[in-house]
Chain A
């Protein structure tokens, strides 16, 4: 979790966020939505060097789905299409009630990891991902019960406080995901990323997400700071200005940059060791 770790050639874990739940094919016709499309994207990303896939589920018409049944279809398809990827399910969701938010944790087998939002995030004028402490604690308890490693989603500085609140309840290493973008996310800048990393406890591992055009520079900065990276169409539709991306192209670019910078890319097995799965 330090520049020294970069110098020491610590392996980097690359997570591919394949589809998300915010935009769909109306935004990017190549965005995978069906279980089969998501599985094909996962296999391509594994081939490109990803160790973890972050999964959402969709209805047939592309709208978001939280049900265990739909997540089961997605995770089964991904497991069939891939060799050894770490499966990470999203529990985030605007306006969805707590009972639904827990459903992605209840697949068989349970996902090895799941996201755990550390506080609210606004979308549009009247939509909010609430993520009350009660919601967080409920999801966290179920993750612990099922042996699921939480990835703490830190949308801004205040969510670091909320992460520290439950830090003692987390198995080592705590894994925090620092997210930069518009609205209630941390303003995207190298200075803000450095500032957040400076506040992390030594025993933590961190991952960086930059939305849209911030994906490339901020994940690259994470490589230099000993952190990990998440890329994919959930966070960024474009490879460069005016050119739509694919999930595997974004992963392949991260892998190339990491290797050029001297960070070996972790296999799924190495990622499990690094993150204590």
Chain B
């Protein structure tokens, strides 16, 4: 499983990379390596539980 808002892209119009990198379509930017751990649910991380961008996009409060 990965975040439904994750895409791997080689560029964003202004930058190009040789290897596709994690891109958050909610935040509309490439994500830092440590955040990609959430995007790809590594180490039991979960976008719905752990990602502020995902939760804001879904309208979830932190108390839920």
Contact = CB atoms under 8 A, between A and B. Distances in A.
Contacts, number: 64
A198 interface: no
Interface stretch (A56-64, A105-113, A209-217): A56-64
Nearest to B40: A63
Q: Which range holds the interface residue count of chain B?
A: 20 to 34
Given A61-B8, A95-B43, A95-B45, A26 B50 contact: no
A242 interface: no
B52 A22 contact: no
Contacts of B50: 126-127
A195 interface: no
Contact of A25 (B8, B17, B35, B62): B17
B33 to A, nearest CB: 4
Contacts of B20: 61
Contacts of B44: 95
Interface string A45-76: 00000000000001011111000000000000
A124 to B, nearest CB: 7
Contacts of B43: 95-97, 100
A23 interface: yes
Interface in A218-274: none
B62 A22 contact: no
Size range of the chain A interface in the assembly: 20 to 34
B34 A127 contact: yes
B45 A24 contact: no
Nearest to A20: B33
Given A27-B32, A125-B52, A125-B62, A61 B22 contact: yes
Contacts of B45: 95, 127
Contacts of A61: 8, 19-22
Contacts of B49: 126
Contact of B33 (A23, A95, A124, A126): A23
Contacts of B38: 127
B35 A124 contact: yes
A146 interface: no
Contacts of B52: 124-126
A11 to B, nearest CB: 34
Contacts of B36: 63
Contact of A62 (B15, B19, B29, B37): B19
Interface of A: 21-27, 29, 58, 60-64, 94-97, 100, 123-127
**3 residue pairs, one from A and one from B, having the closest CB atoms:** A26-B30, A95-B43, A126-B50
Given A22-B33, A24-B30, 17 more contacts: A22-B34, A23-B33, A26-B15, A26-B31, A60-B19, A61-B20, A61-B21, A61-B22, A63-B22, A63-B33, A63-B36, A64-B34, A64-B37, A95-B43, A96-B37, A96-B42, A126-B51
7 contacts: A24-B32, A26-B30, A94-B37, A96-B43, A100-B43, A124-B52, A125-B62
